[in-house]
Amino acid sequence: MKMFARKLLVLCLVVLLTGFLAAACGGGGSSSSASQGNLVKSDKGRDMTPETSQSDLDELVEGNTDFAFDMYRAIRQGDDNLIYSPYSISLALAMTYAGAKNRTEQQMANALSFTLGQDKLHPAFNALDLELTSRGEGAEGTDGEGFRLNIANSIWGQEGYSFLSGFLDTLAENYGAGLRLLNFATAPEESRVTINDWVSDETEGKIEDLLPQGSISSLTRLVLTNAIYFNAAWNFPFNESATRSGAFHLLDGSEVIVDMMSQVKHFRYAEGRDYQAVELPYDGQELSMVIFIPKSGWLFNAFESSLTENKVDNILAGLSSANVSLTMPKFTFEFSLGLNEVLARMGMSDAFNPTAADFSGMDGSRDLFISDVFHKAFIAVDEKGTEAAAATAVVVGATAMPDPPVEVTADRPFIFIIRDLETKTILFMGRVLNPETQT
């Protein structure tokens, strides 16, 4: 599958929904300056105590996890480092899904592994989102500013264009997203800058220019955006004085010399005939990073292909405390790709087809389709902890004596996930093929 990758910061997804008919916008709605993005609030406020069962929440997380691995398999071709936020993608497309009908709705549900009905899916996302944003109270970040897991949603609509109140109510009640009015029709470039500025603010400057030039046009009718910013200190920071230069072995047999962090500590650890896995908790012990390293002698591509949802579940279930001598590289890199082709091949092709898309749940017509989906990602891992960010936008147009330590040396390509421990939600997922590479 072809992968569209460019050098970009932080994890970001943008889905552009464009009007199929080049007609002037009609209907009600307040007018406002495109540079202001004035907020038009639904009569409905966000439901802070959504009625959702634990089984519905578990079913949502299971579906999101299935989608996370489906997406990984779809974009892992190539020889690049990889970082993306399956949660950000699912969340942004869930807002879009709220306006999908008929075959478009079914295709999106299948591709995104949404198994709950619309009436249960959105409250479950709300409950999960509220649960995740409650994390980290009293915990530290990497910069002395405290732990941050910030998740924000916003929708941007063409001023004067009529959107169905039921659609806007669903987004307001379950995603806390109000409608900000912009003038895409006559000021597309100014509107693009306004949205990019919002994304930059929500990701503490880690995502700049999410929407590239030309992505907003006079036919754009709606942009749905999600931004995630994550900054957490390790529960057991690495001592910077222990960091040494060391060799990291690349897939082609060559090596690069990079900064390798090391420490000996009790971590949760598991191993099998072809892998070692170690879990690094963040301060507060509510989230963690798990790294999966193929054992020496195993080809990374074969190991990567074998790392299915079931295998990862079994590995995570088998983690137990062990005295671990851990050596791993510091790394910082960026990643971006366009997801139109990926999502279409995953089964939601109608959403991108102006003659087949049905988003009549948004405006009562079939004049809207998704024109673009953009995704950006950034991650930085060092002795102090991890900083990562994600943004998604959908644009619619129209103490005892320790045991001998287990040696875990990540001096070769490995895969990682950043997850919430209680809900098991995968927030970020990726791989490190070359820690020296910045893109």
pLDDT digits (tens, 9 = 90+) for 217-260: 999 999 888 899 999 999 999 999 999 999 999 999 999 999 99
The pLDDT of residue 44 is: 82
Q: Which long-range contacts (CB under 8 A, 24 or more apart) does 349-353 make?
A: 349/107, 350/103, 350/104, 350/107, 351/96, 351/100, 351/104, 351/107, 351/108
In the chain, where does the domain assigned CATH 2.30.39.10 lie? 240-330+401-432
Full-model pTM: 0.90
The pLDDT of residue 9 is: 25
Within 13 Å of residue 33, how many CA atoms lie on the same side as its CB? 3
- 321 versus 7: the higher-pLDDT residue is 321
The pLDDT of residue 26 is: 33
Please tell me what DSSP assigns to residue 234.
Answer: B
User: Tell me: the pLDDT tens digits for 94-120?
Assistant: 999 999 999 999 999 999 999 999 999
pLDDT at 182 over 50: yes
Q: Which residues does residue 244 pair with via DSSP β-bridges, in sequence order?
A: 260
Does residue 61 sit in helix, strand or coil?
helix
What kind of fold does domain 4-233+333-397 have according to CATH? Antithrombin; Chain I, domain 2 (3.30.497)
Structure tokens at 237: 């920071």
Separation between Cα atoms, residue 427 and residue 230, nearest integer Å: 9
Does residue 437 sit in helix, strand or coil?
coil
- Looking at domain 240-330+401-432, which of 3.90.660.10, 2.30.39.10, 1.10.3720.10, 3.40.50.1000 is its CATH number? 2.30.39.10
In the chain, where does the domain assigned CATH 3.30.497.10 lie? 4-233+333-397
Question: What is the arithmetic mean of pLDDT over 351-380?
Answer: 91
